[in-house]
Amino acid sequence: MVATPLAQKALVKIGVAAGAAVLAGTGFVKLVLDKPSRPYQDGSVGKEYDEWTEQGVVEYYWGEHIHLGYYSKEEKYRNKPLREAQYAFIDEMMKFGGIDPATDGEAKVLDVGCGFGGTSRYLARKLGPKAEVTGITLSPKQVERATELAIEQNTPNAKFMVEDALEMPSFADNTFDIVWACESGEHMPDKKKYIDQMMRVLKPGGKFVMATWCQRDDREVPFDKRDLRDLKYLYEEWSHPYFISKEAYKELVEETGLMNEVKTENWVKETIASWRHTIWLGVKDPWGWLRKPRRYMRCFRDGYCLERMHRAFKRGLMEYGMVTATKKSAP
C-alpha cells in the first residue's frame, strides 16, 4: 500500500516533530549534565569518598585502585583489563620514583590519599615483609574497607588511618623513607601545605614521587573562556577545589629548600585511555550501576564527567603530572 501525498506529508511532519523532540531532550539533558553538581566545600572530599565506598560502584569497576592505568602505545584499552593497567601504572610510578625492592625492602612508606588502600597493599607486598606502608585518607569508610582487604589479602605490613594530609599531626619530621602521592593533590585546598607536609615527614635521602591531574601552565598559554568554563566544570563536578600545573608543583617542592633536583613529566599519552576504558566497562557490564537505581543520575553524571575529562586531557587543557625528587641529606 502506497501512502497518499497527504499521508506522506503528515509522516514527514511527525518525523520532524519526533526528531525535534529528541534533539530538545538531548539538549535539555546536556544542559543538566553540564551544570556541575558537587562543588568543593569544607568536608566534601571525605564525604564524597565515604559515599562512593558505601555505594560500591567505584570499587566494582576500578577495583582496589582509584587511579588511572598505564597503557603502552601498542595496547588498546578494550583488550586490556583496567586492573592490569592500574598495576602497570604502579610499577611505572615506582620506576619513575627510583623505588626498588632491592634497595627499599625495609622502607617506611607513606601513601598520601590511599583510597581503598590498593596501592598501599601492593607496595607492601612488592617491597617485602620488612617494609611498612601507612595509608592515609580523610574517609573513615575507606580506612574501614582498606583494613578489611589487608586482612583478607594477608598483608599485615599495610595499615590505614584517617589523617589530614595538610597537617599530619600523627607524624614527626623525617619519619618516612618514601612518600608516595597518587591522585590526591587534586583534592587539596592548599597545595603549598600539601607539599610542605610531605617534604617535612620525608627522611633525609628519602624518595618522593607524586602523580596528579594538572591543568596546563597558563603562563605559557593563557586560558580562554572555553578553558575557564571547562575547568570550572571539572572542579565542581568531582569536589576539586582547583588544579595547578606540574610546573607549579615543581616550584612548590623547590621552594621548601629541602629537596634535590626535581623531575617532572606529563604522562597524558600513557594514561588517557583510562577515561574511556571506564566508560566502556560501564556499557559492557552495566550491572555495577543498574543495581543502584537511586544512583542512576549520579552514575550518568560520572560517566559524562569521565568523557569531559578525556576531552580536556586530549586537547591539552589538562596534563597528567608526574613529580619526583629525593630529600637532601642532613648537614
91 contacts: CB under 8 Å, gap ≥ 6: 70
> How many of the other CB atoms lie within 10 Å of CB of 322?
23
Compute the Cα dihedral for 17, 19, 23, 29 and give only its sign: positive
Note the pLDDT of residue 298: 76
- Whole-prediction pTM: 0.86
Note the pLDDT tens digit of each residue in 262-291: 999 999 999 999 999 988 888 888 777 776
Note the pLDDT tens digit of each residue in 173-221: 999 999 999 999 999 999 999 999 999 999 999 999 999 999 999 998 9
Contact by Cβ (8 Å): 145, 116? yes
**CA dihedral in degrees (57, 82, 243, 99; nearest 10)?**
120
> How many of the other CB atoms lie within 10 Å of CB of 32?
13
316 phi/psi in degrees, rounded to 5:
90, 5
